Structure 1
Amino acid sequence: MRRYLVVANQTLEGPDLRSELSKRIEAEPSSFYVLVPNTSAAHYHVVPAAGGMVPMPSMVTSYGRPETDEEASAQARHRLERLLDVLTASGVEAEGNLGSANPLEAIANALADRQFDEIIVATLPRRFSRWLKADLPHQAERRFGLPVTTIVTKA
């Protein structure tokens, strides 16, 4: 069974990530651990839109920008639970949790307890992604010695 560590937050419910996970499930027996770096409310991305501000990515989530860190955590946990429900309903072994707001630290903590064959990072579009600006996928690949697949949500 191939074991995947999925790292995502605002993009958890996006079609790009769901499509990639479906491909993995269809290809071979798979299990998933979904890790959600617990992003603070201040770091949720929003973009100007007609009539005001829209959370980014607007095509991925129906959540507004959280007002507090507690609300951000509640939204992240809700997205996580929804994805885990979808995966387990598909007959796939899946679990997950919120982790450190620092994604590299969160990945390191997950790897301390578990073994994975690959890391899948789902992130916002390039022009908005703090993770891509920090070169998270390449840093994770170098630091942890695992292949990393990056899913960049389309804007």
Structure 2
Amino acid sequence: MSLYHVLVVAQRTAATSELIAAMVRRHEQSPVRFRLLMPFPPATPRAEAQQQLAEALEAMRTRDLAVDGEVGFGQALEVVVEAWDPRRWDEIIVSTLPGPLSTWLQIDLPHRVARMTGVEVTHVVAQPPRRTPVGAPPAPHHGPGVLAPLAVMGWGGHHH
């Protein structure tokens, strides 16, 4: 069996369980080597981008995935175009946030990458990573909230 090379395009979803599970499933099909490509807006501090890349690679490697990575600065499609080499990559995985949260889905990135490269593109939808540690108390609630307009109806609000 030959070793496949899979380009993984992810940024905010790079260390999510959904993406890593998809990579593990792909790894179980045949021998594979992954390269994580993380596009960032040009204004992103390099140290921040490198830190996110390191954290994602560590999470992937704990699942025994053969993976290296790189950061690209620019629009996601431009970064993929720069990294794309048909002699090097056999397939691509694009990981995005769900529908309305994803700027990459707004520009139809998975389909555009597939059209541009002509290879199989697997689209993984992942939930946004939680920034608070597991077990931490929820953030305090400030302000009236989304139901404030209903307060005039007297439900559970201030009683006089």
Tell me the TM-score normalized by structure 2: 0.69
1:28-75: CA deviations, max 9, x gaps? 21100110001356xxxxxxxxxxxxxxxxxxxxxxxxxxx31xx433
Provide closer, same or farther for how the CA distance between residues 24 and 104 of structure 1 changes in structure 2, counting only shifts above 3 A: same
C-alpha deviation, 1:13, in angstroms: 1.2
C-alpha deviation, 1:18, in angstroms: 1.0
Indicate whether 1:23 and 2:22 are aligned. Answer: no
User: Could you tell me how far apart the structure 1 residues matched to 2:87 and 2:73 are?
Assistant: 16
User: Could you tell me how far apart the structure 2 residues matched to 1:97 and 1:113 are?
Assistant: 18
Indicate whether 1:81 and 2:54 are aligned. Answer: yes
User: Could you tell me how far apart the structure 2 residues matched to 1:27 and 1:12 are?
Assistant: 21
Select 2:67's aligned residue among 77, 87, 94. 94
User: Could you tell me how far apart the structure 1 residues matched to 2:87 and 2:48 are?
Assistant: 25
User: Could you tell me how far apart the structure 1 residues matched to 2:125 and 2:62 are?
Assistant: 25
Structure 1 spans left out of the alignment, 5+ residues:
42-68
C-alpha deviation, 1:78, in angstroms: 1.7
8 Å Cα contact 1:9/1:76 also seen in 2: no
Higher strand share: 1
8 Å Cα contact 1:104/1:136 also seen in 2: yes
Higher relative contact order (CA 8 A, sep 6+): 1
Please identify the structure whose Cα radius of gyration is greater. 2
Corresponding residue pairs, total? 126
C-alpha deviation, 1:90, in angstroms: 4.7
CA RMSD of aligned residues (A): 2.1
SS of the residue corresponding to residue 84 of structure 2 reads helix
Hey, which bits of structure 1, 4+ residues long, moved more than 2 A? 73-76, 82-93
- Matching residue of 1:139: 112
**Structure 1 vs Structure 2: percent identity of aligned residues?**
34
- Matching residue of 1:6: 8
